[in-house]
Amino acid sequence: MGRLKPIVHRTPLLTSETTNRIVGKNVYFKMENQQKTGAFKFRGATFKLMQLPKKQLKRGVITASAGNHAQGVAYAAAKLGVKATIYMGEKTPAAKVDATRNYGADVILTGETFQEAYEASLKKQMQTGAVYIHPFDDHDIMAGQGSIAMEMLRQEDRMDTIIVPIGGGGLISGIAVGAKHVNRNIKIIGVQAQGAPAMHKSFHQKRMMHITSVNTIAEGIAVKRPGQHTLPIIQEYVDDIVTVTDAEIASAILYMLERNKTLIEGAGAAAIAALFAYKDELKSRHCGIVVSGGNMDISMMPKIQQLAKSFHYSA
């Protein structure tokens, strides 16, 4: 992890007296929305590329992404002078597509979902021989994301619980292994959107579960199937996985905007939504929340406001 230190931001760990009062515990927001490229994904992408020999890097790298991984890979590749090709779903927010192109990557939009873009990228990889940089199902990617846990526990060593959003599971895998290496008693709680619960179903049924469709405002965690490598790690190291509704996610976005003057995306709001939704069941005195990203499509704000109407967080 030491090799990442000069490259990635050591993001702030913020506290909020209002939040503490509402949920009845000390809460620490790990602001990965302030990471380079606006999300935690830059960590894993950079660490992965740093492991590759120059001979492989010369062939270029390729991946598929819902948006944040794309920007992470594009920026990491640009830093190393490596050609990057990124496949993204046709419905990916324009802000994420534009940002990825601005980092110098070739972007190809295809398919309605991440899964379709992913399958197209695999075909292209076989044709070109470029190195595939998986968004979550890769041990180096997980290790890079795990640097978040090491930072959090250096910033606040009393933390007894960390709540983490889950798509394919790369972020929570790295955090769970890293955190329990430091303190094996720390609780790791995963969160998925109700409209994209593949890992939630797989975790609780103790077997790989695929879902045929996803429907959530948190497109960054809208994944139809867990990773082959992430699921066993999650089953071993994660203590529980819960789900939250889109209305709860939307309310968390507005809460952070109004109370903490910070913009976060749907995936980044999932852990905050879970904190509010499960505050009474959550046995924690010092609770860490991973705010995973802030690359939100501003055109979504009217829908978010509409969804959040039925919710209001107050002390």
Query: Catalytic residue at 292?
Result: yes
Cα separation, 173 vs 99, in Å, equals 27
Evaluate whether 49 touches 76 at the Cβ level (below 8 Å). Answer: yes
Question: Is residue 284 among the annotated active site residues?
Answer: no
The one catalytic residue among 25, 30, 36, 41 = 41
Residue listed under structure tokens 């944040």: 68
Q: Which tokens belong to 288?
A: 């860490």
The Cα–Cα gap between 89 and 93 comes to: 9
Q: Are 197 and 224 in contact (CB under 8 A)?
A: no
Query: Known catalytic residues?
Result: 41, 292
